[in-house]
Each structure stands twice: as structure tokens, then as C-alpha cells.
A and B are shown apart, each in its own frame.
Chain A
Amino acid sequence: MEQNNKPVKYDLTFAREIYSLENGSYIKQCMQCGMCAISCATREIMDYSPRQLFNLIKLGKKDEVLQANTMWHCTSCCTCKARCPRGVPLVDVMHDLKKYAIENGYADYPQAAFYKAFWSEVAGRGKVFEGGVTGRYYLIRGLDEVKKAMDMKDVGINMLKHGRLPLLPPKKVKGMGNLKKIIRKAQELQRKEAR
């Protein structure tokens, strides 16, 4: 956590970018009460609480915000969103921040790789194939990570035994073309709304 004595300098440029994300404008409503910091299930492993993250956005601390693990540890449990006294939809904001971080090259967290892998699976097949997601994930993470994957082999075998991990990929969904259209449309809408 940032605790040095050097004054921070406010810069609204970054904040404006974040506020223009789909749910970004809700961040402006934050009144710095700190309810989210406590209601969060994974608060102990977050380096900034959502409240602090919103404050950093306000200050213009782009690197701190986008390098933070906060959004990546969000499990979308929705407790913070349900309790936020200002009605900030924190889970949605976290999704926006993750997307923004990836788009801006802040994708060092393994979660980011996982998100990418998961999305490629869905976009390419219309459904999720666990083996595919895993494969894509390790490829994105790089060779070193593949070695680590071997540590997980027991888990994999166990899942196979219990029928939780199919060996072969499933068929694509019917009407893949239509699904792509739907996704394109949704992305268009999202961009429009964010403006």
C-alpha cells in the first residue's frame, strides 16, 4: 500500500477515461465510506480495497490502479454491490476495469490470461471446453507456466475419473454465425452506452 510521504498529484485525465467506461460513471458517486472494503470476500488478499481503488482513480494514479490485483481477485459474489450505500455496481465496475486493463496492456495477472482463454473458447465454439480453456491459458502464460501445469495433473486426472473433464472437445453450438452476430451487436451497444 502506498504510504510514502511524497505528495500525490491529482490528474483527472485518467479518471475521465475510467468514468467513461460502461459502468465507470458510477464510481463518481462513491462517497468514500468503505463499506465495500469490508463486505468483500477476498479483501485480505487485495492490495487496494475498491474504495481505495476509486480514490486512486480520482487521483489519476493510472499505474497503481491498473497494476492492482483488486479487480482480478473480485469473485463477483455481489456482496459489495448489494451493500454499497451509494448504489455503485461494484462487480460491473470491476469487470470494466479488467477489460480496460487488458485492452491497455496491463495483463500480467494470471486471471487476465484465464479471461482471455475463456473468452476465446466461448467466442470460437459457443460453449466452454475445459481442456481448451486450460490449453489456451497456458499458451498465453508462456512456456514456464506449462511446466507448472504438470503440478496440476492429479487434479486433472481426478476430474477425468469423475466425468468432470471431457477428453474431447464438444461440438460447436448450432448457429455459430448468429451467436457471433449477437456478440458483435452487444459489443456495439456497450461502446455506445459507454459514450
Chain B
Amino acid sequence: MEKKIAVYICTGCGIGDALDVDALSNVALKEYKADICKTDAFLCGKDGVAVIKNDIENEGVNTVVVAGCSSRVNADVFNFGPNVIVERANLREQVIWCHPADDEDTQMLAEDYIRMALVKQKNMNLPEPYQVENLSKTIMVVGGGFTGLTAALESAKAGYRTVLVEKEDKLGGYVGKMYKQVPLKPPFTDLEENCIPGLVKAVEEAGVKVYTSATIAKTAGGPGMFDVTINQNGGTVEERVGAIVLATGARPYDASKLAHLGFGQYENVITQSAFEEMVAAGNMEAGKVAFIQCAGSRDQEHLPYCSAACCVESIKQALYVKEKNPEANVYVYYKDIRSNGQYEHFYKKAQQAGVIFIKGDVTAITESDGQLAIEADDKTMGTTSEADEFDLVVLANGMVPTAAFGEMIEEEAEEEAAAAADEPKVVGPTIIKSNMLNLEYRQGPELPELKYGFPDSHYICFPYETRRTGIYAAGVVRAPMDMLSAMEDAAGAALKAVQCVEATAKGEAVHPRSGDMSFPEFNMNRCTQCKRCTEECPFGAINEDEKANPLPNPTRCRRCGTCMGACPERIISFKNYSVPMIGNMVKAIEVPEELDEKPRILVFACENDAMPALDMAGINRLQYNPWVRIIPVRCLGSLNLVWINDAMAKGFDGVLLMGCKHGDDYQCHFMKGSELAEIRLSKISETLNRLGLESERVRATTVNIMDYDKIPAMLDEFAEELEELGPNPMKDFQ
């Protein structure tokens, strides 16, 4: 595309008063030879926008720089369709609102931002969407229990061909064996008939293709083109599917580890699931029953988490006993009754039925003459207690996700090698070989676990933010939850699966860069098979062949640019985001000579959190150091070290990386972007030192969106420390 570039400088909101706009125009027209440069006192107004539109329609302008407010505002106003490149130079929030008016340094800053915007445009192109051949919009659901059946039905009802794979010979899973189920609708007081038979029928009627006694031998490809090999009855079937819902459920916690509660020792101490089957089979005759909550759960020795469903499930089971024999004596020993939300009504219902709830830890279970006795603390009485003559003791033994069973992937060999080389390395997420999806991914065959084996999202705002694009975990395999939550979760995951196939069909990325049509392209001629890109991709998008050549899967890609940052040969680039693009932006910044005593600090800021925080500093009119030049990056994981070289060679006195918090509560939407960047930095510190450049000149910091009040001090302190170091010795050699 032949670019015709126009620059529009808004002088409203005080920009015209604070800056020498003519000088800015000169930068565009004279220095950068823009085809058009116009100023307007109210560019986002109807007339201002009309000027731009007119130039696009009548002057052939296809590349626009809007120099005015932040891209956080007026995105719709300055959107001129898919064929016009628009770049915003933020003269308002990041220049005049946080720097003094009529000031030489402020003016220099504004001019640099115009330069950077123009260079950025020169180095980018409109992305062309990646198109999949033989794209499939079929949704595959793995697991035919309550969640899986629900997900399959929901996806079929939305009009998508759906495939369901179940390893047992019969659909229904854990819930299928239940006598009755907890209420899923108001008034949340009545036991409901088991929904599985109806659900199975509905799934069949909706035309879902069901494979029972089937397991997945292999899942190759990526969204829109997963090629799944299904083993069934000794044979194999191939299915091409677009997206996957993983609903393989959970298993009860191994009760044999609960010997302290008499399990294994006394045959009438049984698990929640055994009780369920006993009642369903009509074999439950007990007249005195105790339910023991948190048998395994909320216990650092067993399951540190709460299994979420057991309280309401035990309330239900207690009601079974009462339903059968209203005169039966039923006790529930609990730590806290967690009948959240409207299940409070269910709790009360059980109390009304005469179920006795005792807040206390069970200290001993003994047996004499076939009857069980329980010793416990009674917390609300402030005493210890005894009860005997129990016919049955039911342990609410919690749940463990099916994804937690299997061998952990051994990365030790590689880690040892790295340790030997004294190289810091980001440790990838744990993957457990649970034999459920058998993904053909370089980074392991299953979804990475988040914690305790649950392959959950790490985000509160985005519970379906998966680390394997197009594969969404739902129900109790994702997190401990009750049936009501699992029902919603099934539909939620089905939505995300449907959304993924639709986005993939359009060549668009899914969350968090939804709609992004760019994707990484590899110039394989120069690849040295170093494996950095394949190792570091947080989404496992890049496989490897035997010779360690990267094999990109663009539909798995989330467009963070981590591969681009990792590549030492700089062979990976996006149409609108590349190593030369940022490198040239760095080079476009004017670095005054040492004698001018105007140091320069380059900031690479994550566009998700750090950039809005910088805007916020402006909105709050917080003033900060005018030597700073800020370049937004998709993720700090996309930071290529050559940019640091570029900056140092250019004469920058320091470089600061502003990324997301890492560690257990990391905030990076691409998992470890900021951490990767820091590790890369640590690797070049030696080189810097060798060049006579103090490694302290380059450093990383973490910023969240609410840290805007700390930004001025953060930048000022860095500037002071750089002043102590003195100017970059390479400054005047460029």
C-alpha cells in the first residue's frame, strides 16, 4: 500500500496554548515530509473530523496521525474504517497535562511524540487476516457428565455442530449416579429429580454426535482446525473441530487417606458418593446418620481448598434420610456452613426438617457393636461432645479435578541445563499428563494447571482466559463448584468456544486482543533453531520439528509478541508491530548532546496497565520528569533486547520497563511478559558492563493501573540516579 500520510494537530484542551504548534507542524512537514499537516482547534468535533474525512475521500489520505488526546478517548470518533491506518500522538494526557506549558522541554517532548507516531506509521501495514483451510466450526465437549452434557446441549442450541466424547460407556458422570439433586431454581428449598436422563435425551434430540467408551488419543492443530483422534472400541475416529470444552469433572478425594475419620477401619463410615449410590439403590435403612463436612477439604494435610459443593450436597443427603424416615436422627458436623446465596433457604429447610447442625471438629470416631460413636468439639457450646449409636457416618470428602491425576511433565533436565549455564529462566506452568486431550503441543499434552491441578483462569474479570486458545475448561475440572455454578459454567465455556470459532473464521484474535487481525510471521531463512520462541510462547502456539525449526500455529496465537521479543535473530514480526518499527521509533527520538544537559530516558510501557496509569497521571495533572519518552508495547514479553541496544547507541541515559506485577498474583494477560523481560534484561547486564555502560541504566519496574500517583516519583527517582551515574558515554558517538 502506497501510504499517503496526513498529520492533524488538535490545538484544543489547552494544547495550542501550551505548545508551539507551528514547530510541531514543521516536524511533520519538513522533517518527515508528511503529505498533509493541518491544525484544528476542536479536532474531535464534527468539523474537525469532517476535515480528516474529506482528506481521506478526496486527497487519497490513507494514513492518519491524530496528535491530540490519548487513544483511550475518542477511538470511535477517529475510526475511519479498516482501510485507514490511524495513529495517535498523545499530546494531551502525556504531554501538556503532566508538563509545564510554554516550556522548552515540554515542546521537545511533543515534537518527539510526533516523530515517533510518524515513524511508527511508516513501519507498519494493515494486517491481513490469517485464513484457515477447511475451517471447522464444530464444538467438541470432552466429558459427558452434568457439565459436559449441558455444554453440548447449549452449543447445539446455539446452532453449532457438537461432538461429545465420554470415556465411560454411559453418559451422566457423577451426577448421573445421584438419587436426587440439589435445587437449581427458586425457591431453592426442594430436592429435584435427577436431571441427567432428561439432559441425555435433549442432547440426543439436539443432534449432538456422542462418542461413549471413547478417549482422545491425540489433539493436533489449533482453533478452527483441531484434528482429534478418538479411540473407541478398539478403533479410531477422526474429527476436525473448531474449539473444545473440557468438562471432565472431578473425582472424590481419596477417602483412604481419611483413616483418622475411621474410613477403611469401619465399614459404616462411607463417602458422599457411596451414600448417594446407596440411597439411589434403595439400600439406605439407617435411622441415625452423621455427615462430616470438610473431610479432606480445608485441611492443609489434604485439600487446602474448600470443595464448594459439599455443604449443599450434605444438606441434600441429610434430607434424603429425613425424607425416608422423618424420625431419623441426622447430625451434620461442620466448620462453617457454606450455603451461599439462595442456598441459605436450603440450609433452613434442612433445619426445619430436624437435621441437627453442630459447629465442631470431629476428634475421634469409634465403633462398638456395629454402631459408631463420634467425639467432637462443640464450638457454639464451648465444650466437647459425644454422640453414639450411629448407623452410618458419611464423609463429605471433597473433590479433586480429573486434570490433577497423572505424571507431572519433567522439565528438570532443561532446568538443570539452565542452572548449569547459570542462566535465569522462566519456569513454565505445570502440566500434568492427565491423558484427557493429549494435545500435540510442544509445551505439553494438557491444559496447564493454575493451582491444585485445576486448569483455571488466573483472572477475576476473565474466568475463561485460557492458556490454550480455543480450549475452555468448565465445571469442577476448572474449579471447585456446586451444580448451579457448573450449569452456568458449561454455558459460559460453550459461548467462548463458539466465539473462538467465529473469530478464527474471520482471522481475528480472541481475548484479550480480540479483533486483532495481525499475527506473527517468521522469516525462516534466518532462523537458528534456538528454540526461544517455542519455549517462551505462553500459549503453546509454536510447535517444533525434529530439527528445532519453529512451526507456528497462528490460530493458537494471542498476538502478544512474546516470540518476537524472544527471537535473537529478529525474524518474527507482525504487519503492524515489529522489531524495526519500535527500533526506528527509538531512533527517531532526538537525543540532545551531552553539553545540553538534557538527559533522555526511554520507557517501554505495557499498554494494558502501565499506559492507562500514565494517562491517569496526566488526568490528575501530576507533573513528572520531561526527559522521559514513552513507547507502548503489546506486552513486555515482546521486548526485544535490540531495542535496548538501539537506545544505548542512540545516547539514552537510561531505559525503564514498566510492566505488570509478577509472582503468584501476576497481572500479565500473557502470563509472564514482565518476568520474561526482566530475565532478558539480566542477561544483557554483563554486556552493558563490558561496554562501559552501567547495567543500572536499564531496569524494570512493575506498575498497576492504580499506581499512577507513584509514577512521578518513580520517574524522578530514576532520573536522579541516572544523573549520579552521569551521561551515557556513548551519547555523542551516534
Contacts and interface: CB of A to CB of B under 8 A. Distances in A.
Nearest to B347: A31
B386 A19 contact: no
Contacts of B353: 28
Nearest to B359: A32
B385 A8 contact: yes
Interface in B331-360: 331, 337, 347-348, 351-354, 356-359
A178 interface: no
B329 interface: yes
Nearest to A10: B387
A10 B331 CA distance: 10
Nearest to A13: B329
Interface string B352-386: 11101111000000000000000100101111111
A12 interface: yes
B386 A55 contact: no
Nearest to A7: B384
A28 B351 contact: yes
Contacts of B359: 32
Interface in B124-180: none
Contacts of A35: none
Nearest to A52: B381
A25 B386 contact: no
Nearest to B327: A16
Contacts of A4: 383
Contacts of B382: 3
A7 B387 CA distance: 10
Contact of B352 (A2, A10, A29): A29
A59 B381 contact: yes
A29 B351 contact: yes
A23 B357 CA distance: 20
A162 interface: no
A9 B353 CA distance: 22
Contacts of B357: 31-32
A55 B380 contact: yes
A28 B354 contact: yes
B354 A32 contact: no
B348 A8 contact: no
A29 B356 contact: no
B356 A12 contact: yes
A7 B359 CA distance: 15
Interface in A29-57: 29-32, 51-52, 55-56
A29 B359 CA distance: 15
A19 B388 CA distance: 21
Given A28-B351, A28-B354, A10 B380 contact: no
Interface string A134-157: 000000000000000000000000
Contacts of B380: 32, 51, 55
Contacts of A104: none
Given A32-B359, A86-B348, A8 B354 contact: no
A9 B385 contact: yes
A109 B651 CA distance: 95
In the complex, which of the residues B356, B383, B386 has the most CB atoms of chain A within 10 Å of its own CB atom?
Answer: B383
B352 A8 contact: no
Contacts of B331: 10
A8 B351 contact: no
A58 interface: yes
A15 B329 CA distance: 11
A10 B385 contact: yes
A30 B329 CA distance: 17
The 8 nearest A-B residue pairs measured at CB: A7-B384, A10-B387, A32-B380, A7-B386, A9-B386, A28-B351, A8-B385, A29-B351
25 contacts: A2-B381, A3-B382, A5-B383, A5-B384, A6-B384, A7-B383, A7-B384, A8-B378, A8-B383, A8-B386, A10-B358, A10-B387, A25-B352, A28-B351, A28-B353, A28-B354, A29-B351, A30-B351, A51-B380, A55-B380, A55-B381, A56-B381, A58-B356, A59-B385, A86-B348
Interface of A: 2-10, 12, 15, 19, 25, 28-32, 51-52, 55-56, 58-59, 86
Given A9-B388, A12-B356, A28-B354, 6 more contacts: A2-B381, A7-B385, A8-B381, A9-B386, A28-B351, A29-B351
